[in-house]
Chains A and B, each alone.
Chain A
Amino acid sequence: MKSRSVFQRLAAAPHILWMILFIVAPMLFVLYFAFTDNEGHFSLSNISTLSQYGNVFVLSIGFALIATVVCLIIGYPLAYFMSRSKPSTQKILMVLIMLPMWCNLLIRTYALMALLDNGGLLNSLLESLGLDKLYIVGSDAGVILGMVYDFLPYMVLPIFTAMTKLDKRYIEAAHDLGCTGIQTMTKVVIPLTMSGVISGVTMVFVPSISTFYISQKLGAGKIDLVGDTIERLFKNTSTYNVGAVISLVMMVLILISVWIMNKFSDDEGGVII
């Protein structure tokens, strides 16, 4: 018995070590820097600078919310359609959704930029057709598009999972009791797949609110989100501590949003992922 528990502990050791080194320690560093000044003395002055960054936070939350809503609007019907199609169609759709995820996020964002840029594929096409150019890169819409493109799979997959778990008999029971197609959707399918929606919303909202790369590339540097601000502050040693405070606020924001999402999910279904 004892030897087995020793073995179990040994098996977990690399992972625990990894977590301490790369998750716990950096968080402690963030905490340390957030409450010290450049000389390493305890200080609350960093906190007082936070007010300057209020706009950035509001903008980031706004962008993340819009991206999440757009993902939901696209993702939910897609997941529904997928769950109701033949297994072969399901497989093809699944691969199409997963395929971009096998490619690095930075490369995907670069590719999107190349497509949408002023001299990119889309605009060359529009030009050759004699139409006006679309200046997507550098606009709010461009950044939202990037977020939706990058994070859509995280919305679709948990909803799809919830849909496939939904017993077909519930839908039949709804029809039987007098529901039209739309009523079946609103009264039965959506409530019973809420756990998937909540997972999806969390998994899109959290990376959206902390993103920095997408806004830099597809915002062409004109749009400054929290992620970008943190990156810039950390690149400069003199603003290291302010960066740490903003990171801390960011973490708290994410924890709050995850907590709210968990409140919404009832204990019955449980949140997927």
Chain B
Amino acid sequence: MEKEVIIDLTDVSKSFDGEMVLDHINLKIHDKEFVTLLGPSGCGKTTTLRIIGGFESPDTGDVCFDGKSVKDVPPHKRSVNTVFQKYALFPHLNVFENVAFGLRLKKTPEDEIRTRVKEMLSMVNLKGFERRRVSTLSGGQQQRVAIARALINEPEVLLLDEPLGALDLKLRKDMQNELKKIQKATGITFIYVTHDQEEALSMSDVVVVMANGQIQQIGSPTDIYNEPENAFVADFIGESNIVDGIMLDDYKVRFSGHTFECVDAGFGKNQKVDVVVRPEDVDVVAVDKGMLQGTVTSVTFKGVHWEIIVDIGGFKWMIQTTDFVAEGAHIGLFIEPEAIHIMHKSEFSGMYGDYSSFSDELELLSDPTEPGEEDEEE
């Protein structure tokens, strides 16, 4: 059954100070789905969310809610509510008044406000916090007040802008489960912005991967992981070895000096392609039994597995194995046809998927021109 389209962005572009932040985006969001906009900082995901919330207006294109254009509808008249990145709880009001804020504006009767705030606070596990000042709450508690404050207005769509970014890892995991539970219980469409791929995969019904102001891929978490559209998606979601290959024929691909069976077809003969192999899908075997041979250059213990870097003809592969392999060892590698995913060449080809330098994120962090956090609205 096809769900109803609740939000429809068509050909939306936006620039700030001449810099293109969103580049002709088309996105349909269906009712009752948990949709995640995923991408690195500066990819346009927050701007997309702010356009849906009404805080920015697009330069081109249209935004429709339930089929009606809302381009000129201000935020307070849209049936969406937002959980802001740093919560933006009102410091002059206590927890109760923060949560009751939206209801008071609608002139809801006082006793109804009282019961609904109480219900909402118990849903987010904050019973008894009514009289507390917002500033006395921990990050996780503030987070839940922010969610309660938004949800009490019963919006059709809840927008969440990196809501778990400020929490520590353990709490983040708990909140992920809680958010998913709340979304299922309320049946409200969630649009969730994050740069954390693990968060996106574990919570979402639909993941929208964005980069450079464009949507790279829309799909379910398993689709995005198993069938990445291009080198960017393959690299951003999980770990990937991405090598140049040539499609010799349907189901036959050649890369790293060996011809492999694969499960992909429909490419042109001898077409150049990007080949993705996930580190966990490579088996370490004896040299003479391997399809590929290489030398182990580094070994890192990761708990459940070892992460080894293998030099194969100058290209460094990352492989995860449960058997210990010594550094400097010469090993063979075996790859099953199902483990090989073929992608068309894209603007991202050759930029990702080589583990000779570790890693893009570190380089990004060390780049002084790169802003530390999402700051695209200014």
**Chain A residues close to B by CB (< 8 Å):** 167, 169-170, 172-180, 183, 187-188, 191-192, 194, 266, 268
B320 CB-CB contact with A under 8 Å: no
**Is the Cβ of B105 less than 8 Å from the Cβ of A183?**
yes
Which residues from A are CB-within-8-Å of B89? 173
Interface size class of B (residues with CB under 8 A): 20 to 34
**Is the Cβ of B105 less than 8 Å from the Cβ of A179?**
yes
B366 CB to nearest A CB, Å: 29
List 20 extra interface pairs beyond A176-B53, A176-B81, A176-B150, CB under 8 A.
A167-B88, A169-B84, A169-B86, A170-B88, A170-B90, A172-B88, A173-B88, A173-B89, A174-B101, A175-B74, A175-B75, A176-B76, A177-B149, A178-B102, A178-B105, A179-B105, A188-B90, A191-B92, A192-B90, A268-B91
A160 CB to nearest B CB, Å: 19
**Is the Cβ of B91 less than 8 Å from the Cβ of A192?**
yes
**Is the Cβ of B105 less than 8 Å from the Cβ of A176?**
no
Q: Which of B84, B86, B153 contacts A178 (CB 8 A)?
A: B153
- Residue of A with least CB distance to B378: A168
A167 CB to nearest B CB, Å: 7
A129 CB to nearest B CB, Å: 45
- Residue of A with least CB distance to B134: A268
**Is the Cβ of A177 less than 8 Å from the Cβ of B135?**
no
**Chain B residues close to A by CB (< 8 Å):** 53-55, 74-76, 80-82, 84-86, 88-92, 101-102, 105-106, 133, 135, 149-150, 153
**Is the Cβ of A173 less than 8 Å from the Cβ of B76?**
no
Which residues from B are CB-within-8-Å of A266? 92
C-alpha spacing A150/B346, complex, angstroms:
67
Known contacts A178-B102, A183-B105, A268-B135: A173-B74 contact under CB 8 Å: no
The interface residues of chain A, by DSSP majority, are classed as helix
A175 CB to nearest B CB, Å: 4
Which residues from B are CB-within-8-Å of A176? 53, 75-76, 80-82, 150
- Residue of A with least CB distance to B161: A169
C-alpha spacing A266/B92, complex, angstroms:
9
Which residues from A are CB-within-8-Å of B91? 192, 268
**Is the Cβ of A172 less than 8 Å from the Cβ of B84?**
yes
B330 CB to nearest A CB, Å: 57
Which residues from B are CB-within-8-Å of A180? 76
B80 CB to nearest A CB, Å: 8
A233 CB to nearest B CB, Å: 46
Which residues from A are CB-within-8-Å of B53? 176
**Is the Cβ of B84 less than 8 Å from the Cβ of A192?**
no
**Is the Cβ of A178 less than 8 Å from the Cβ of B90?**
no
C-alpha spacing A167/B91, complex, angstroms:
11
Which residues from B are CB-within-8-Å of A169? 84-86, 88
Which residues from B are CB-within-8-Å of A183? 105
Known contacts A178-B76, A178-B153, A188-B90: A173-B82 contact under CB 8 Å: yes
